[in-house]
């Protein structure tokens, strides 16, 4: 279990390291309705992540049952992912510097996002939680590790819960802080009416 747990934790940390998710979370919690939009965003993000994990488990179970050389496949997929990330990093390094006018457009987009409602926050977060190519591949690799470990239902559910908790940390921590801060202590008039 320790070997599978290490893999799941590693993939979860890599999936959590997303500046896009953190930026979207901050935009949502700085919106006109931070508590409502934050809870909707967190719910959508968790749902998207759970769906990706479920899909990853189904694919992982099918792969493990059909192929005995799972370690080889995992190593090849990990190497391909690493090569793709290096390629993207090298291309980004050679990319020309953006003019200031594009920064104004990005600021306008973020300003528009600050006026989203709970439904838009939920759907946007669901797509982010399911993930782009990097996050989806990391989720599939983590779920393949869970499938390969053959730990039984309790062990598998524990590893999936660890993955979801760690991979979504950049969403649930800021949203949790906002929800707690927005709740605040009861006002003195409510406290006086109770006493």
In a domain, 6, yes or no: yes
Q: What is the pLDDT of residues 43-93, one digit of tens each?
A: 999 999 999 999 988 887 776 666 555 566 667 777 777 777 777 777 766
Q: pLDDT tens digits, residue range 146-164?
A: 888 777 888 889 999 999 9
**Is residue 103, in this structure, part of any structural domain at all?**
no
The closest of 11, 113, 89, 88 to 52, measured between CA atoms, is: 11
- Terminal CA-to-CA distance of the chain, rounded, Å? 53
Domain count, the chain: 1
> Model confidence over 166-186: pLDDT tens digits?
999 999 999 999 999 888 766
Tokens encoding 141: 């690799």
Quote the pTM value.
0.72
Residue 77 forms part of a structural domain: no
Residue 111, domain member (yes or no): no
Asked if the structure places residue 192 within a domain, the reply is no
Residue numbers of the domain that contains 144: 2-68+121-183
Q: Is residue 133 in a domain? A: yes
Asked if the structure places residue 191 within a domain, the reply is no
Residue 114 DSSP symbol: T
3-state secondary structure 30-90: CCCCHHHHHHHHHHHHHHHHHHHHHHHHHHHHHHHHHCCCHHHHHHHHHHHHHHHHHHHHH
């Amino acid at each position: 279990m320790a070997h599978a747990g290490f893999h799941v934790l590693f993939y979860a940390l890599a999936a959590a390291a997303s500046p896009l998710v953190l930026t979207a979370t901050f935009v949502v919690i700085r919106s006109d309705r931070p508590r409502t939009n934050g809870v909707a965003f967190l719910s959508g993000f968790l749902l998207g992540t759970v769906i990706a994990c479920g899909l990853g488990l189904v694919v992982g179970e099918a792969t493990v049952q059909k192929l005995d050389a799972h370690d080889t496949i995992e190593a090849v997929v990990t190497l391909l992912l690493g090569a793709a990330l290096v390629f993207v990093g090298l291309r980004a390094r050679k990319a020309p510097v953006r003019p200031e006018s594009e920064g104004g457009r990005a600021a306008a987009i973020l300003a528009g996002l600050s006026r989203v409602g709970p439904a838009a926050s939920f759907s946007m977060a669901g797509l982010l939680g399911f993930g782009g190519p990097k996050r989806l591949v990391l989720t599939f690799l983590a779920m393949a590790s869970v499938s390969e470990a053959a730990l039984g239902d309790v062990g598998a559910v524990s590893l999936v819960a660890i993955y979801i908790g760690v991979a979504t940390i950049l969403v649930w921590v800021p949203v949790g802080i906002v929800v707690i801060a927005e709740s605040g202590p009861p006002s003195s008039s409510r406290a006086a009416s109770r006493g």
